Amino acid sequence: MTESKMRFGLAIRGQYHLQDDIRLRFDEIVRVHLLLAVASRATFQMGYLLEVDGQARATAVTVHGCVDPTGRPVRMPSWLSEMAQTTG
């Protein structure tokens, strides 16, 4: 199956970390910065920075795995792997 026709999903592997430095309030406008961080053949990490008015309020990291429609691990698509190489 060619990669352009291959279907895959992204599952959180049950690993995440949240550092809540200053609590967010319901009515605040939050800017979320994302970083595609560490990547392996089938998993990658996303880093998050939440800011309000230029002040860092929280950071987080999640670990994701690439899976096929049946939930089995698969190799990360090349376009995602290339993106990780250019940003990570």
Q: Which two tokens stand for residue 26?
A: 């319901």
- What is the side-by-side strand order in the sheet with 31-39? 9-20, 55-67, 43-52, 31-39
Topology annotation, domain 9-87: Thiol Ester Dehydrase; Chain A (3.10.129)
Q: pLDDT tens digit string along 23-60?
A: 888 999 999 999 887 778 888 888 889 999 999 888 88
Q: Of all residues in the chain, what percent carry a pLDDT higher than 90?
A: 14
Q: Write the CA distances from 35 to 1, 39, 46, 51, 86, integer angstroms.
A: 30, 11, 6, 14, 11
Q: What is the mean pLDDT of the chain?
A: 78
Q: Write the CA distances from 70 to 8, 9, 12, 37, 65, integer angstroms.
A: 9, 9, 15, 26, 13
